[in-house]
A and B are shown apart, each in its own frame.
Chain A
Amino acid sequence: MKKTLLLLSIITLSVVTSGCNQYFRADMENGNGDIYYGTFNRRDYTQADVKLFKRNSTMTCDGIMFLDNSTRMVNWSNKRGLAKMVLGCSDGTVIEADWQMRKADYNKGIGKGVDQFNNIYTFKAVPKSEFKKNVKQKYDFVDDNTTDNYLKY
């Protein structure tokens, strides 16, 4: 009985403390047609940290995303949530994107974005396996107290 309780508490703790990472792919519509893979880590029901990696490159982007629709409303079941994402990249690019989240959640959705040089990007959620296949580098999300940059964080 004790072992079962311990196991149950460990499982509960691991579920509670694990991140809510979701994964997405971004395609540059014009220009070189670059492909990016990204992930967002939900910090609360309104805000998420975002990390984006260019495929076959060392370029990374950091950013933040704000949901314009509550996920915990009583009538949330069939809503489409809008979200705004801004990313600052290591090569100076700034990408601004609007997402449409299905059921106002972060795990399904499509997005359209533009950078400051008018390149257009399309975003769509992908499974974790596709992200892991294309992004080999280790990464970490920003610390809560980071004040490094206005547009990135």
Chain B
Amino acid sequence: MKNFIRLVCLFTLFITMANIAMAAERPVLGNIQTSSKKLTQEEFGYKKACQNYVPYEVAVRNNNPVPVVVTANTRVEFISADGTVTPSDSRRQIYRKSKRFDHSKHIIGALPWSVPSNVRLARNMMIEKPLPIRFEPGKVYNFRVFAPVSVTNPVAVNITNLTFDRKTLCDIKIPLENVEEL
């Protein structure tokens, strides 16, 4: 019985270590030029959004000869100075935490002007500069990411699970500090 328990423990340990090793194997894609800019509340213009998130405008140029594409499992992660990795909120949550109180959802016969500000917010945060689904070679892509305010001193943002051959997964790491414009 003891031997059996030892065997199970060893097997579990092996699986855990293998998982960690596989997670660490995902390479960071080279030949990528990036730049980033932190947007202040005056530049971004939405007070409630800035209370919950720190907006960054990011530019990426793919200098590889092949296009790099996102997958449905692509995530945006923020890396702090101490190495902590914090996943970004979903686009849905970012919008919900940043929007104004919507009368139309709670009161029948809502005021007609209660919604346009949320439309402008959605346009600014989600429609105008979204994460591109395809990075063509040589082209510069600008998009916005929103770091939760709970992330202290973010130094980089990771776009994970990208692929260029439909098999290999890789990441793009974009530094958020001391960067020059593309």
Contacts and interface: CB of A to CB of B under 8 A. Distances in A.
Interface of A: 16, 44-47, 49, 61, 64, 66-74, 84, 86, 88-94, 96, 114-118, 142, 144-153
B72 A90 contact: yes
A77 to B, nearest CB: 12
B115 A70 contact: yes
A91 to B, nearest CB: 8
Given A72-B110, A96-B133, A149-B72, A66 B126 contact: yes
Contacts of B51: none
Interface string B93-130: 10110010010110010101111101100110011001
Contacts of B74: 94, 150-151
Contacts of B36: none
Interface stretch (B11-19, B27-35, B82-90, B170-178): B82-90
A151 B72 contact: yes
B140 interface: no
Contacts of B99: 44, 46
A44 B73 contact: no
| A contact patch SS | loop
26 contacts: A16-B108, A44-B102, A44-B118, A45-B102, A46-B99, A46-B119, A46-B122, A47-B95, A66-B123, A66-B127, A67-B119, A67-B122, A73-B116, A84-B127, A86-B130, A88-B72, A90-B72, A116-B70, A142-B92, A147-B89, A149-B73, A150-B74, A151-B131, A152-B72, A152-B90, A153-B90
A66 B114 contact: no
A61 to B, nearest CB: 8
Contact of B122 (A47, A94, A150): A47
B90 A147 contact: yes
Contacts of A66: 95, 122-123, 126-127
B91 interface: yes
Contacts of B108: 16
A72 B122 contact: no
B104 A44 contact: yes
B127 A44 contact: no
A86 to B, nearest CB: 7
B172 to A, nearest CB: 13
A128 B108 CA distance: 26
B76 interface: yes
B71 interface: yes
